[in-house]
Amino acid sequence: MNKTRIIIITLLLLVCSFVFAQQDLTLEKVTIVSRHSVRAPLETYLSTLDEMTGNGYQWTRWSVPGSYLTLRGGALETLFGEYYRLWLDNEHFELETADIYFGASSKQRTIATARAFAAGLLPLMTIPVDYKVDENGKVGYLDQDYLPLLNDRCTADGSFDIAAFQAEAYRELGELKAPSYTFLEKMLRMSYSDYARKRGTKHFDPYVSVCLDFYDKNGKPLEPTMRGGLKDANMASDAFILQYYEMENARDAAFGRRLSFNDWKKLAYVKDYYGDILFAKAPIISVNISHCMLKRIQAEMAPEGHKFAFLCSHDSMIAAVLAALRVAPYELPNTIETQTPIGFKLVLEQWVETEGAHPKRYVRARLMYQSTEQIRGMKQMDLDNPPMSYDLSFAGLEKASNGMYEYEAFMNHLQKSIDAYYASARGQYPWE
């Protein structure tokens, strides 16, 4: 037998053994942390957006209030849920009402996203979405489980050294530099805007700074916030991307310009850069603001957790979760938002061996999202045309031979990220 035939047979045996290993596993549990789908720009952005845009340019007038999930966003999320139903059926994964949990941040866009996904996933069930309300019984409760709020409330002895935390966070952030704003400024025709006239400059302020105040003057908990030109540039970047997703005519979304896919990626990069600095760049910040969400994930992945759990949050929170879990650097394909695209999902699947006296359990960790083409085209998804899927790797965590993680190893890794919060309380770098 010649060398080439030996190599071919060996490769075939390896492929067959991998396929057999995959077929020898049964899907046991699914935990999803999702970003909401397409929304209108935040209410607080709208007047600033008009001010920074040159005369003659008009942002779309949205059919829903600022920050609300749009009808298109709801439809896209229902399509995602419908795909998931097909996939779960294919895995013979059956659900009863008691097996299911849907929770959401106390925002219209996240609650509506969870409801839309549930409608696609389980059209014959009425699935309640669990969320908290404020003192007036309305949405808007600052729920630290779902919002990336700076957190000094989870130490057992009640002690948290805010000054030490801030000092370490600024050390980890280092010298912050602005991304290039040239293309974004050109798209806005900003030199002809009221924004430029009032400030006496045709450009965004290159100064970048992060504020890490835990509470406002009324005792309201706060997220990390941005100062400088990047804050306003993020507003414009975000609005362009949402407009591109929402409008059928891409040239109308770009104020009459014909943009390439890479041009749209350049616009989205500003938003990605902003989010990375605030929520993912400094480990002490990411482990702090994601602490409560990590504990929720841990509870759902435990044996007593729900068979299927869907937690709807925000890109900021999921970016912090991924950073706290020390995910390896990645750039998602087929999307203009390469880090935390609209509607994307951190999916944690638990699989168990179907044979053996002591069956092993595994975790598959991946990001699932609709490609930009699927979003803009409102593409129906099925097993032959699935959403995008990207398997994650983590620093300090080795994959098993089947490409997944052993359950105990993953849960230990998750516990380390949860425990890292206590280093943040002392103002220490989390991974020492």
Q: Is a pLDDT exceeding 50 seen at residue 299? A: yes
Mean per-residue pLDDT, 305-326: 98
Beta-carbon-side half-sphere exposure of residue 119 (alpha carbons within 13 Å): 12
Tell me what pLDDT residue 356 has.
77
Neighbours of 298 (CB within 10 A): 16
**Neighbour-count burial of 183, counting CB atoms closer than 10 A to its CB (0-12 exposed, 13-18 middle, 19+ buried):** middle
Query: Which of 59, 60, 57 minimizes the C-alpha distance to 193?
Result: 57
The span from the first CA to the last CA of the chain, in angstroms, equals 54
Mean per-residue pLDDT, 19-31: 77
Report which of residues 357 and 29 the model is more confident about. 29
Q: Using CA atoms, how far apart are residues 20 and 27, in angstroms rounded to an integer? A: 15
Q: What's the CA dihedral at 128, 131, 134, 136 to 10 degrees?
A: -10
Q: Is a pLDDT exceeding 80 seen at residue 4? A: no
Two tokens, residue 391 = 């398997």
Alpha carbon separation from 135 to 4, 139, 141, 148, 151 (Å, rounded): 73, 10, 8, 21, 21
Q: Which residues of 184-205 are buried (b: 16+ CB within 10 A; e: fewer)?
A: bbebbbbeebebbeeeeeeebb
Q: Using CA atoms, how far apart are residues 38 and 429, in angstroms rounded to an integer? A: 36
Query: Which of 185, 198, 294 minimizes the C-alpha distance to 230?
Result: 185
Mean per-residue pLDDT, 237-247: 97
pTM of the model: 0.94
In this structure, is residue 431 part of a structural domain?
Answer: no
| 364 within 8 A of 389, measured Cβ to Cβ | no
DSSP3 helix / strand / coil % (the chain, rounded to 5): 45, 15, 40
Q: Is a pLDDT exceeding 70 seen at residue 20? A: no
Q: Using CA atoms, how far apart are residues 325 and 316, in angstroms rounded to an integer? A: 14
Q: Which residues of 347-371 are buried (b: 16+ CB within 10 A; e: fewer)?
A: bbbbbbeeeeeeeebbbbbebbbbb
In this structure, is residue 400 part of a structural domain?
Answer: yes
Question: Would you place residue 432 in the very low, low, confident or very high pLDDT band (cuts 50, 70, 90)?
Answer: confident
Report the CATH number that the domain containing residue 53 is assigned in CATH.
3.40.50.1240
Overall residue count recorded for the chain in this entry: 432
Query: Which of 153, 143, 69 minimizes the C-alpha distance to 104?
Result: 143
In this structure, is residue 377 part of a structural domain?
Answer: yes
Share of the chain above pLDDT 70, in %: 95
In this structure, is residue 176 part of a structural domain?
Answer: yes
Q: Using CA atoms, how far apart are residues 200 and 182, in angstroms rounded to an integer? A: 17
Domain that holds residue 270: 3-425
Question: Would you place residue 23 in the very low, low, confident or very high pLDDT band (cuts 50, 70, 90)?
Answer: low
Mean per-residue pLDDT, 215-234: 96
Q: Using CA atoms, how far apart are residues 232 and 49, in angstroms rounded to an integer? A: 8
- Helices 291-301 and 315-324: angle between axes, nearest 10 degrees: 80
Tell me what pLDDT residue 15 has.
45
Tell me what pLDDT residue 236 has.
96
Question: Would you place residue 424 in the very low, low, confident or very high pLDDT band (cuts 50, 70, 90)?
Answer: very high
Question: Would you place residue 14 in the very low, low, confident or very high pLDDT band (cuts 50, 70, 90)?
Answer: very low
Query: Which of 122, 120, 130, 71 minimizes the C-alpha distance to 93?
Result: 122
| 116 within 8 A of 312, measured Cβ to Cβ | no
Q: Could you give the residue ranges of the DSSP H alpha helices within 33-135?
A: 46-51, 71-90, 108-121
Q: Encode pLDDT of 65-94 as tens digits.
A: 999 999 999 999 999 999 999 999 999 999
Q: Encode pLDDT of 323-361 as tens digits.
A: 999 999 999 999 999 999 999 999 999 999 998 778 999
Mean per-residue pLDDT, 193-198: 94
**Neighbour-count burial of 158, counting CB atoms closer than 10 A to its CB (0-12 exposed, 13-18 middle, 19+ buried):** exposed
Alpha carbon separation from 304 to 65, 93, 298, 307, 413 (Å, rounded): 39, 17, 11, 9, 19
In this structure, is residue 273 part of a structural domain?
Answer: yes
Q: In total, how many domains does the chain have? A: 1
Share of the chain above pLDDT 90, in %: 90
Mean per-residue pLDDT, 150-156: 96
Q: In this predicted structure, which of 38-52, 64-78, 134-148, 339-353 has the lowest mean pLDDT?
A: 38-52
Q: Is a pLDDT exceeding 50 seen at residue 170? A: yes
Strands 225-228 and 405-406: unpaired
Residue 340: what residue type?
T
Tell me what pLDDT residue 18 has.
44
Tell me what pLDDT residue 6 has.
44
In this structure, is residue 430 part of a structural domain?
Answer: no
Q: Is a pLDDT exceeding 60 seen at residue 235? A: yes
Mean per-residue pLDDT, 240-260: 97
Which DSSP letter does residue 333 get? S
Tell me what pLDDT residue 2 has.
52
In this structure, is residue 432 part of a structural domain?
Answer: no
Q: Is a pLDDT exceeding 70 seen at residue 186? A: yes
Residue 3: what residue type?
K
